[in-house]
Amino acid sequence: MKKILKYLFIILWSTFVIAPLSWALVTSFKPAAAVNNGATFIPWLQFQPTLDGWKDITGISGYANLFPALINSATITFFSTLVSLSFGCMAAYGLSRFSYGWKHYKNPDIIFFFISQRIMPPAVLAVPFFILLKSLNLLDTKLGLVLVLTSALMPIVVWLLVDFFNQLPKEIDEMAMLEGCNPFEAFIRTILPLSKPGLTVAGMFAIIFGWNDLFFGLVLTFTKVQTLPVAVVALNGTVTPFWTLSASAIFSILPLIGLAFVVERFLSKGGFAGAVR
């Protein structure tokens, strides 16, 4: 009975998660008639699939082209994730291995300071960031958005990686230092190669947050640099047909789904088996 309930729950939850996605996917291949004439789900049986929606967003029909936005999003997400991971992993390692502090403020307070950046609603930062980027002549530039997103992603990376490094035995870096590595070399040569699972998780979170960012993209870029979420939202504001909107939604999440399949193997492998017994 317990097993039946468990599977029932899994099926219900999976349906809840998958249904909107499959609805959008099916709709993106529907012609106008299939969308307007009641609920249909099975291509070729209930309706004849077309690529009209996909042609509308890929510039083939001349309606809209989301590829430049896709490239912008990919570039901005890649660099902001790269910078966040590069500096974030060093900050996290430092917070995990060394004691910092001033008066009664210690490492846990510093870690909380990092994560508190995420507690704050992004809207609070919109005006300061706008003024800052304007004064630096970085409004509506990829570099400007990379800098802003890095500041938003870094706390997540640091928070996740501090916990990961805490789980790695300190004796490994101690041993590396005894064998001639300074702390930085010990980190690069022994800890970082063991940190693939942690870096993958932190990187995935950074990519997801960076890729899906709408707010900063909307506020800090205008015409020259348009990110994918902004472009998709812009389609919503026009007279875009349903099937085209569905195609744009699927289009915007496809890279993330592909990436998830690629990085999955890094997550499942035991990172530091054999380090300490």
Partner 1 sequence: MNLNLNQVSVESEAEIILKDISFDFQPGKIYVLIGRTTSGKTSLMRTIAGLLEPTDGEIHLGVTRLDEVPIWERGIAMVYQQFINYPQRTVLNNVEFPLLRAGVSKADAKAQALAMIEKVGLSEFVNRKPSQLSGGQQQRVAIARALVRNTRVILLDEPLMNLDYKLREQLREEFRVLFKSTENSVTIYATTEPSEALFLGDELLVMHEGRIIQHGKPNLVFENPANIDVAQIVNDPPMSILDAEIKDGKVTIGNLMNFATPSHLKTQKDGSYKIGIRASEVVLGGSHSNSEEGEVSLSEVSGSETLLYVKLNIGEVVLQLEGIHDYYIGQKVTVSLAPERLFLFNMDGTLCAAPGN
Closest CB 236 distance from partner 1, rounded Å: 48
**Residue 169 Cβ vs partner 1, minimum distance, rounded to whole Å:** 7
Nearer to partner 1, 132 or 181 (CB): 181
Backbone angles phi, psi at 49, to 5 degrees: -65, 145
- Which residue, 1 or 273, is less far from partner 1 as judged by CB? 273
CA distances from 255 to 80, 96, 126, 148, 206 (A): 17, 33, 27, 22, 14
Nearer to partner 1, 27 or 190 (CB): 190
Minimum separation from the CB atom of position 184 to partner 1 (A): 10
* Cβ pair 42, 59 in contact under 8 A: no
What is the closest distance, in whole angstroms, from the C-beta atom of residue 59 to partner 1 in the complex? 46
Rounded CA-CA distance 244/55 in Å is 8
199 or 219, CB closer to partner 1?
A: 199
- Report, in Å, the least distance between residue 219 CB and partner 1: 43
Q: Which is nearer to partner 1, 106 or 224 (CB)?
A: 106
What residue ranges bind partner 1 (CB under 8 A)?
A: 169, 171-172, 174-182, 185, 190, 193-194, 270, 272-277
